[in-house]
Amino acid sequence: MRNTISIGLLFLVFQIIAQPGTVSEHLKVDQFGYPPDVQKICVINNPTAGFDFEAGDFYTPGATLQVVKAADNSIVMSGPAVAWHGGASYDQSGDIVWWFDFSAVTTPGTYFIYDPLNAKRSFTFDIRADVYTEVLKKSVRMFYYQRSGFAKTAPFAYDWTDGASHLGAQQDLDCRLVTNPVPGTSKQLQGGWFDAGDYNKYVNFAYEPIHDLSLAYIERPEVWTDDYNIPESGNGIPDLLDEMKWELDWLRRMQLANGSMLMKVSVTDFSAASPPSADSGARRYGPAQASATRTAASMFAIAAIAYNLSGHPAMQLYADTLEQAARKAWYWLIANPAYSYYNNAGFSSANPEMNEYQQSSAQVGAAVALFALTDSITYRNYIDDHYDEMHPIQWGFWYPWESIIQDLLLYYSVLPNGTTGVKNAIRSSFTNSMNNSGHLLPAINGTSCAYRGYMSNGDNVWGSNRPRGHTGSIFYNVIEYNISGNTSVYRNAAMGYINFLHGVNPISTVMLTNMYDDGAEKPANEMYHSWFAHGTNYDNAITSLYGPAPGYQPGGFNPYFHPDPSFSGDIVPPELQPSLKSYKDWNTSWPENSWEITETSISNQGSYVKLLSRFVSTPCVKTITNAYDSGFGTLRQAIACANAGDTIKLKLPPNTTLQLNSQLVINKNVVIVNSLSGQAPLHCAVSGAGIQINGGQIVHLHNLSFTGACTNIIQNQGNLHLHHVKFDATGVTSNVLKNLGGEARVYGVVELKE
């Protein structure tokens, strides 16, 4: 018999949906996207001044714009483009502007804005809760690339691998006093972060980023995960804390035995090389100064608070080390209360000295952090005696150039044992400034910035992205410190600054380098940095082999830019432009001096990271590798964020016991299973029941081994299913399992050791 087999070939035809029209940068959106619950405004511009006006790049939107789903070109919303201020030209940008509000679109997806009359569309963008998660990771990884004395290797560094830098002859392992570089002055001062586009390291220039990053963790510890693909990832400690530790360990090396702090580590000239490991210039340190000691006292103390909150015993021990360093610095300052007037002798690099007021401000901030750590009346008295000498209180004016002392004053205002009158005065001053200062709430209510990221024109200076991020954080502080119940106004105001930095600006540029793989269609392609210098393989994200590493924030708009006098002619742009068009995407060194526009800094980066972290959704990790009781990746966090019916898998490191130091309440249907061989050990050290299962909940426990020093290991009011579970009653003062109206069922072997 002959069988005929008929084989039908099925061809899968993938249709590529062609999007209508062509992309126009006149339709400006956040190129990464938006969380679902925030205000979403597309800004449309038509130039009246600047390089685009001179080029004749004019645009008037149609009466109706559309939000279009990129997957199938379906229209999900239509609406009008509304003229900003009745068609007036915005003086900071030289544009007539329209706003298209599409806040009503909240369904997750990928979209673009379409102008059917002109057949123009915006860049695509996403709407989803975790839209900024990867962006935050890339922006924090900037600090990894900035590590001095640390080899950047695969798989962590991707295309930006390099050997450990600045460990050669008379460099950071043999760093000598700049005014007396003899062997007898040698110190080991390796580690830390490059401050900016050069490879120098400054104590005072670490002041802002260490505070911004520490407060970002203190305010929202739950968003900081352990998966940023840095060498420490997967160790159970949030990678932000791992990264900060690299800088803090260097700061500790800069502290002398008497508590005072050395000033800086730097080459004496402007020499550098690409990549950093090729830089062989001798490096020197600047002598100890009161200013560096003041900033370090505050940095050590605020970081200690963050590490204490981590819930990790090793990091809490590190917090103790930082607290002792902060106290040593404080004691030195009490014995040596004078200000420093450092003259930078021997160096051509930047002088990081602070004026008297800035030094006073740093010491008041240090007192706040030390009081929060210790509850000592000594520090509270210092705050109470000096807080009203701080500009925000003295002037009644809160602004982005004193962000750290402002943050710390607000932090003091919620400490339970702070002086009530002082706390009220701080909150009153902040409230009054927010309500009445022209750059704060009046700028939001009056829509003063056509691009929704207002700063006064005088604040658009060298490094302007830093105060722009800090201004956004000023608005979010209203929410963080419970100043006003009208949170949506302040949240949307802060979001406007994020959107501005993500492309809703006059030049439609995302103020982060090389973010093409993360959704940006027009990121910064270049920045001033010795590693990613002009003419190297790291020069340009499009035209060179690698481009700069992703996630660096360049300096920002600077209408005060001029090249060196030896340069003939103007550079247009950034010269001869309105403030918010005074930018060029380039990195050429002297005599063009691009560093005044595009140079990065850890201060810029810290400002941005802190603001962005406030809009990052909290991840729910349900594979548990963290054996501690609290913090990211713990069983407690997983139960809190899991949905009913979820399975939580334990994958603990070898020879590790999961610790419960306070009662764990299970208030939803869950399955908890050991995903490795054998039984995962859990130990409760609780006064009372270690685990409470609430009534009505169905809980399955698989392949677990319980020990405890508690009354009961499990107190059950629900429906408990035990699969291959072992109980050790040693140390338990009553029954290992106590049913209070609940029901427990046993599957397989369940052991009880008396």
Q: What is the DSSP letter of 147?
A: B
Mean pLDDT, residues 678-699? 94
Q: pLDDT, tens digit, for every residue of 216-238?
A: 999 999 899 999 999 999 998 99
3-class secondary-structure state, position 487: helix
**Token pair in block for residue 604:** 């810029």
Run of H or E including 369: helix 356-374
C-alpha 323/C-alpha 252 separation (Å) is 11
Neighbours of 489 (CB within 10 A): 16
**Token pair in block for residue 32:** 């990464």
Q: What is the DSSP letter of 618?
A: P
Mean pLDDT, residues 274-297? 99
- CA-based nearest residue to 614, from 485, 508, 493, 459: 493
> Is residue 13 predicted with pLDDT exceeding 50?
no
Average pLDDT, the chain: 95
Looking at the DSSP bridge assignments, the partners of residue 289 are 261
Residue environment code for 431-440, b if the CB has 16+ CB neighbours within 10 A, otherwise e: eebbeebebb
> Is residue 11 predicted with pLDDT exceeding 70?
no
* Cβ atoms 164, 279 nearer than 8 A: no
C-alpha 126/C-alpha 107 separation (Å) is 10
> Is residue 22 predicted with pLDDT exceeding 90?
yes
Q: pLDDT > 90: what percent of the chain?
A: 91
3-class secondary-structure state, position 98: strand
What is each CA distance from 153 to 150, 229, 247, 313, 471, in whole angstroms?
A: 9, 11, 19, 29, 36
* Strands 284-285, 176-177: pairing kind: parallel
Run of H or E including 670: strand 670-674
- CA-based nearest residue to 149, from 194, 114, 185, 109: 194
Looking at the DSSP bridge assignments, the partners of residue 513 are 524
Name the pTM for this structure: 0.89
Q: pLDDT, tens digit, for every residue of 42-85?
A: 999 999 999 999 999 999 999 999 999 999 999 999 999 999 99
* Strands 719-723, 743-747: pairing kind: parallel
What is each CA distance from 466 to 97, 303, 672, in whole angstroms?
A: 25, 21, 45
Give the pLDDT of residue 644: 93
> Which residue type occupies 287?
P
Cis upstream peptide for 573 (omega within 30°): yes
Looking at the DSSP bridge assignments, the partners of residue 34 are 127
* Strands 698-702, 719-723: pairing kind: parallel
* Cβ atoms 657, 684 nearer than 8 A: no
- CA-based nearest residue to 119, from 24, 45, 47, 16: 24
> Is residue 665 predicted with pLDDT exceeding 90?
yes
> Is residue 528 predicted with pLDDT exceeding 60?
yes
C-alpha 260 chain-centroid distance: 29
> Is residue 9 predicted with pLDDT exceeding 50?
no
C-alpha 34/C-alpha 129 separation (Å) is 8
> Is residue 14 predicted with pLDDT exceeding 60?
no
Residue 716 dihedral angles phi and psi, to the nearest 5°: -115, 125
Mean pLDDT, residues 503-529? 99
**Token pair in block for residue 66:** 């559309």
* Cβ atoms 552, 600 nearer than 8 A: yes
Give the pLDDT of residue 633: 77
Neighbours of 739 (CB within 10 A): 16
Q: pLDDT, tens digit, for every residue of 299-314?
A: 999 999 999 998 888 9
3-class secondary-structure state, position 256: coil
Q: pLDDT > 70: what percent of the chain?
A: 98
Q: How confident is the model at residue 603 (pLDDT cuts 50, 70, 90)?
A: very high
Give the pLDDT of residue 17: 79
Q: How confident is the model at residue 630 (pLDDT cuts 50, 70, 90)?
A: confident
Give the pLDDT of residue 323: 99
Mean pLDDT, residues 695-699? 96
**Token pair in block for residue 436:** 């009445």
Mean pLDDT, residues 588-603? 98
Q: How confident is the model at residue 5 (pLDDT cuts 50, 70, 90)?
A: very low
Give the pLDDT of residue 16: 58
């979820």: which residue's tokens? Answer: 646
- CA-based nearest residue to 203, from 252, 141, 275: 252
> Which residue type occupies 267?
V
Q: Is the dihedral of CA 280, 285, 286, 291 positive or negative?
A: positive
Q: In terms of C-beta distances under 8 Å and separation of at least 24 residues, what long-range contacts does 60-64 make, across chains too?
A: 60/118, 61/26, 61/27, 61/98, 61/100, 61/115, 61/117, 61/118, 62/115, 62/116, 62/117, 62/118, 63/117, 64/116, 64/117
C-alpha 342/C-alpha 383 separation (Å) is 26
Mean pLDDT, residues 365-387? 98
DSSP 185-215: G-B----SB--BSSS-EESGGGHHHHHHHHH
Give the pLDDT of residue 4: 36
3-class secondary-structure state, position 626: coil
* Cβ atoms 309, 140 nearer than 8 A: no
